[in-house]
Amino acid sequence: MNFCEPSSIQKKAILPLLNQKDIIAQGQSGTGKTCCFALACLQLVDETLLEPQALVMTPTRELALQNRDVIKAMGENLGTRVDCLIGGNPVEEDVKRLQEGSQIIVGTPGKIYELLRRKKLKTQHLKLFILDEADEMLDRGFKQKVKDIFR
């Protein structure tokens, strides 16, 4: 992906993420935040376990699709299964993909909450829970859903 040197935020965030530490990474657009958590997700996933191991939650469908594409591109040769759970997609299709074995889930609060409520999204093997653009999520009124999902 033509990376030569890590950005400032990547130098500070990648190792704590790989060590599964709680972090808040804040930076301008284009500083490499997405690559930080994508790398951590791909590094920590056990390829032999076809269960969700990383959950990336975003405030919009567009950002969820973008994040999914970045993670897939970075892990192109790893065979990691990355799925996107967003509004507008039939729940039955989401459930089918989860049953087939998703390892990294990227999605929006509404859809993730719904699949958790229906007990279709399993969380017992999660190693990472990423809130991308958390401030935007809270501004959009997802505070209670995010709390419920986290619980």
Domains of the chain as residue ranges with CATH: 44-150 (3.40.50.300)
Q: Compute the average pLDDT of residues 47-62.
A: 96
In angstroms, what CA-CA distances link 150 with 9, 27, 32, 65?
25, 24, 25, 21
Share of the chain above pLDDT 70, in %: 99
**Alpha-carbon dihedral 36, 67, 119, 48, rounded to 10 degrees:** -60
**Alpha-carbon dihedral 113, 114, 117, 119, rounded to 10 degrees:** -110
Lowest mean pLDDT among 108-112, 128-132, 134-138: 134-138
Does the pLDDT value for residue 45 go beyond 80? yes
- pTM comes to 0.92
Provide the pLDDT confidence category of residue 30 given band limits of 50, 70 and 90. confident
Output the average pLDDT for the chain.
92
Cα 109 to chain centroid distance, Å, stands at 11
Find all residues with CB under 8 Å of 48, minimum gap 6, and list them: none
The pLDDT value recorded for residue 106 is: 98
Provide the pLDDT confidence category of residue 96 given band limits of 50, 70 and 90. very high
56-86 residue pLDDT tens: 999 999 999 999 999 999 999 999 999 999 9
CB 51 within 8 A of CB 86: no
